[in-house]
Amino acid sequence: MMNLDATTMVLVLALGNLALCAVLTFFDHGPVRPPSWAAWALSKQVQAGAWTVLALGGLGVVPEALALPGGYALLFAGVAIEAGAAWEEAGHPGWPRPALVLCGLAILAFFVCYLIDEQGLRSVAASLLLGAFYLAAALALGARWREASLLQRFLALATAVLALVVAARGLSVLLLPGGWRWLSSELLRQLSGAALYLLMLANGFGVLLLARERAGRELARLEVVDPLTNVPNRRGFFNALAPWMALARRPGLPTALVVLDLDGFKRVNDGYGHPAGDAVLRHVVELCKRQLRDSDLVGRLVGVEFAILLPRTNLDEASLVAERIRAAIASSPVKSERAMIAMTASFGVTVIRPEDSTVTLFQRADDALQASKRAGRNRVSQAVPAPVET
Ligand SMILES: Nc1nc2c(ncn2[C@@H]2O[C@H](COP(=O)(O)OP(=O)(O)OP(=O)(O)O)[C@@H](O)[C@H]2O)c(=O)[nH]1
């Protein structure tokens, strides 16, 4: 087997981490920066610095008495931040405080071991502590196992296994100083170095690929979801509508469609500013959702026009729902910085007919909506019902 001495191994880790930092500098994560990005980039820089200090110590450029404690302290800090970044990604932004405490304790424990025994106990402490921090990162990566992508699950498992290899070296020095059968302590040292190298690669490029995956998912989501109100946009709403259009051709309970348009919205933007207008739009969507069942769907068609799909609902029931929403909007002004903004909306209600296409369906709903506008706004109008076949 090829033998890598400790200094070469540390040098390889230093150069690898430095290369990763360079890659990070030029990586374009797109307009949406992942929340943990800053912490993760910092962790890579600190680790690159740590391995560089350790490598300079090994090469004799910096005195070992300085390089070893300094390098390891930096390394624990870097790996603690890396684990913290993984927890931030898993939705725990409060990681800095526990990470700071654990990192401080790790550095203290390491210094005590180093002062007692510069070789054996020092490497036990280093391996166990590094293994523990990487295990914490693996736990964070696997924390949302059910929603995680295959890549994320692989990274969680790979990080856990490699963390255990790193920790196993420390345990072996403590429990089996002479090694066990073919598993010599030298082989474990080399395996541990290789594990640290693989951890750097897996977590480095793995996180970059995860960021790409996330950006792809976000783009796909934005094709069907309105980012302002977080409800389906026109395309998303039409996708959801399609099966109900098909179902309308079979006998059974009808499906209703309500379209609503906010009245005189231009004055909100002109009088209170665009951000206040946006707040009103979000507020209206929340009001609609509160009046709807789980099986109903609200979507934003365009500008200040929304649509509501009401499965298993006839024309009169849908008109009652629309009336409830109308009353809720009219009686719930939105608080802006300068004033309370009163708002009303006009509604058109219809049900899907067997012969409908989306064009005829929305045309009918829109005609009813325009009738509401003509009649003075802030009201609900039903579309003309289908002629009864005799
Ligand atoms: N703040 C904000 N305003 C928007 C948004 N989308 C569209 N608008 C504005 O909404 C207004 C819609 O105006 P219209 O529907 O034409 O007319 P209106 O003033 O609401 O009057 P009526 O519909 O005739 O009652 C326009 O001024 C658009 O600029 C948005 O996402 N945010």
Give the CATH number for residue 278.
Answer: 3.30.70.270
User: Do 373 and 258 reside in the same domain of the chain?
Assistant: yes
Q: CA neighbours within 13 Å on the CB side: how many for 329?
A: 27
Q: Of all protein residues, whose CA lies closest to atom 3 belonging to ligand 1? A: 277
ipTM of this complex prediction, to 2 decimal places: 0.92
pLDDT band at 389 (very low <50, low <70, confident <90, very high): low
Cα 303 to middle of ligand 1, angstroms: 6
Residue 1: pLDDT over 50? no
Ligand 1 environment, Cβ below 6 A: 228, 261-266, 269, 274, 277-278, 281, 303-304, 373, 377
Residue 390 in any domain: the answer is: no
CA of 342 to the centre of ligand 1 (A): 15
Q: Are residues 44 and 126 in the same domain?
A: yes
279 and 152 in a single domain? The answer is no
Q: 18 and 155 share a domain? A: yes
Q: Assess whether 44 and 192 both reside in one domain.
A: yes
Task: Sort residue 310 into left (φ over 0), alpha (ψ -120 to 50) or beta.
Answer: beta
Lowest mean pLDDT among 115-129, 168-182, 229-243, 279-293: 168-182
Tell me which of 270-274, 282-286, 363-367, 385-389 is least confident.
Answer: 385-389
Percent of the chain residues topping a pLDDT of 90: 70
Q: Residue 120 pLDDT > 60, yes or no?
A: yes
- Kindly report the CATH number assigned to the domain that includes residue 123: 1.20.1070
Beta strands at 380-382 and 345-351: parallel, antiparallel or unpaired: parallel
Q: How confident is the model at residue 208 (pLDDT cuts 50, 70, 90)?
A: confident
Q: Last residue of a domain, which of 223, 253, 276? A: 223
Q: Do 360 and 312 belong to one domain?
A: yes
Show which of 202, 223, 244 is a domain's final residue: 223
Tell how far the Cα of 239 is from the centroid of ligand 1, in angstroms: 25
Q: How far is CA 149 from CA 89, 205, 216, 218, in A?
A: 14, 15, 12, 14
Report the pLDDT value the prediction gives residue 37, as an integer from 0 to 100: 83
Q: Ligand 1: distance of its center to the CA of 335 in Å?
A: 19
In tens, the pLDDT along 228-256 reads 999 999 999 999 999 999 998 888 889 99
Whether residue 219 sits in one domain with residue 88? yes
Residue 210: closest CA among 158, 136, 154: 154
What value does the mean pLDDT take over residues 246-275? 92
Alpha-carbon span 197 to 16, nearest angstrom:
8
- Residue 333's pLDDT is 94
Rounded distance between C-alpha atoms, residue 25 and residue 194, angstroms = 25
| Residues 52, 142 within the same domain | yes
In a domain, 389, yes or no: no
Residues 217 and 343 placed together within one structural domain of the fold = no
Instruction: Tell me if 387 is assigned to some domain.
Output: no
Residue nearest to atom 29 of ligand 1 (CA): 266
Cα–chain-centroid distance for residue 202? 20
Residue 183, beta-bridge partner list: 180
**Least confident residue range of 92-96, 156-160, 185-189, 223-227:** 185-189
Determine the pLDDT at residue 32: 67
Say whether both 294 and 266 belong to one domain.
yes
Residues 36 and 138 in one domain: yes
Averaged pLDDT for residues 271-289: 95
> Which of these, 223, 258, 233, lies nearest to 350 by C-alpha position?
258
Domain extent, residue 271, equals: 234-382
Both tokens of 177, joined, read 């100083």
In this structure, how many other beta carbons lie within 10 angstroms of the beta carbon of residue 163? 25
Band the pLDDT of 110: cuts 50, 70, 90: very high
- The total of structural domains in the chain comes to 2
